[in-house]
Amino acid sequence: PGLCGRVDSTCDRIPPHYTCAMNRRFPRRPPRLLTLIQNTDPLYFVTFNTYKRRPLLSHEALHQSWLTFATRAPNSGAWVGRYVIMPDHIHLFVGLTDNAKLTTWVQATKAVLGKELLHSGYQKPHWQRGFFDHLLRSSESYEQKWEYVRQNPVRKGLCARPEDWPYQGEITPLEWR
């Protein structure tokens, strides 16, 4: 058997100081490269989905709940920039201070919106596990990602023009620095 106990040749080529991919344990969220974001507040592009992509999100009560939460986000070290709420997922841009953790903030967001979904009659589970995030590295990246995000409702046939989609906006103007 190979280093990990498998009987094929895949692991025989792995040097002893490495762990076989079959035995490796990954954390839920990989650690960030601190050298990329030292002396700056990071700006993230974040997406999270409803459980089994159920269309639960595009209604006014949830949008109002989101606006209330996102407006208070600076109290937790987060600033929400632009966002689009689609029927089954949310895209947003968020800036964090040094002491804020993205995972904690997204969990809080899901909890607040989950309470509104329960109040609106949608039973749990509401959310897929985890979320996607991308650390922005330039203002060009922010603008490119925003253009893609704001076109989402048009691509899905939900409206003719991006500005016609009612569940989008900008809480705080954010800039990549």
Which residues make Cβ contacts (< 8 Å) with residue 166, sequence separation at least 6? 60, 63
Name the residue type at position 121.
G
- CA 133 from centre of chain: 5
Q: 99 near 116, Cβ under 8 Å?
A: no
Render each residue's pLDDT in the chain as its tens digit; 177 residues.
434 444 444 444 444 443 444 444 444 545 444 434 454 678 999 999 999 999 999 999 999 999 999 999 998 899 999 999 999 999 999 999 888 999 999 999 999 999 999 999 999 999 999 999 999 988 778 899 999 999 999 999 999 999 999 999 999 998 766
DSSP conformation class of 125: P
For 157, list phi and psi in degrees, rounded to 5. 75, 20
Whole-structure pTM value = 0.78
Secondary structure tally for the chain: helices H, strands E:
5, 5
